[in-house]
């Protein structure tokens, strides 16, 4: 029936071999591609990061600056509010019991000093209370800011003279913090005292300028030698 010639058989064999060759070649090519892809993956993973662009740099700088600003702003806000939160200088401070404070002043012959509030509490028995001390003195007491009104040094109390004497330039104030001598332009500044029953509260957030030079509501002269030389 069928007669396969030698030339037909040879052609079929060549076609099969060619197809086999193409198949093997194609398979090899595909494997090579897969292998190259597999090798490229880890290289990509460890490849150095792209250098940062100028836009990213400025954006990072802007965000960093904003962060610093927010931290500083938050810190400043906290510092401003902290006295009121904690009850330190700038807040209304509970200084203690009225009778105990008066007894301490009398027994020590010194003003009652509260460092955390930066004030002295001094006796003030002038009756009636002069107009300039209305709303400031209460319960026979007055609260003086420790800061010299000349250039800001802390003014200690001199037990010998019973006056406040500034060690920086020699300004002197009587026991009520009224100006007596030296370069200070007025008496010591002061804070209002509030009484809640027997509790003495000093409003350090409400600083009142000291009385003008020439004010002498107590007539108290120096009671001994000065601690600081004359100005």
Q: Closer to ligand FES by CB, 86 or 154: give it.
A: 154
CB 156 within 8 A of CB 121: no
CB of 228 to ligand FES, least distance (A): 9
How far apart are alpha carbons 78 and 228 in whole angstroms? 39
Q: Closer to ligand FES by CB, 123 or 182: give it.
A: 182
CB of 169 to ligand FES, least distance (A): 3
DSSP-derived secondary structure for 91-107: BEEEEEEHHHHHHHHHH
How far apart are alpha carbons 204 and 193 in whole angstroms? 9
Q: Return the structure tokens found at 148.
A: 């010299």
State the residue for tokens 């010299």: 148
CB of 154 to ligand FES, least distance (A): 9
CB of 231 to ligand FES, least distance (A): 7
CB 189 within 8 A of CB 208: yes
CB of 151 to ligand FES, least distance (A): 4
DSSP-derived secondary structure for 121-169: EEE---SSPPGGGTTT-BTTEEEEESB-TTT--B--EETTTTEEE-TTT
Q: Closer to ligand FES by CB, 192 or 210: give it.
A: 210
Q: Closer to ligand FES by CB, 122 or 165: give it.
A: 165
Q: Closer to ligand FES by CB, 102 or 169: give it.
A: 169
- In the complex, the residues that contact ligand FES under the rule CB under 6 A are 148, 150-153, 166, 168-171, 182-184
């Amino acid at each position: 029936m069928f007669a396969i010639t030698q030339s037909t058989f040879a052609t079929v064999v060549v076609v099969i071999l060619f197809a086999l060759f193409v198949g093997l070649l194609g398979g090899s090519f595909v494997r090579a591609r897969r292998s190259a892809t597999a090798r490229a993956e880890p290289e990509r993973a460890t490849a150095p990061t792209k250098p940062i662009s100028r836009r990213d740099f400025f954006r990072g700088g802007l965000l960093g600056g904003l962060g610093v600003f927010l931290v500083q702003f938050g810190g400043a806000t906290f510092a401003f509010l902290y006295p009121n939160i904690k009850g330190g200088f700038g807040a209304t401070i509970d200084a203690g019991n009225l009778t105990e404070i008066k007894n301490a002043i009398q027994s020590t012959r010194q003003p009652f000093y509260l460092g955390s509030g930066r004030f002295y509490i001094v006796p003030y028995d002038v009756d009636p209370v002069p107009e300039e001390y209305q709303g400031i003195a209460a319960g026979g007491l007055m609260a003086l800011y420790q800061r010299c009104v000349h250039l800001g040094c802390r003014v200690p109390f001199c037990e010998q003279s019973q006056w406040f004497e500034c060690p920086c330039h020699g300004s002197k104030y009587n026991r009520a913090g009224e100006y007596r001598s030296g370069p200070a332009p007025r008496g010591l500044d002061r804070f209002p005292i509030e009484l809640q029953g027997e509790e003495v509260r000093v409003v350090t957030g409400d600083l009142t300028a000291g009385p003008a030079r020439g004010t002498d509501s107590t007539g108290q002269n120096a009671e001994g030698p000065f601690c600081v030389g004359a100005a």
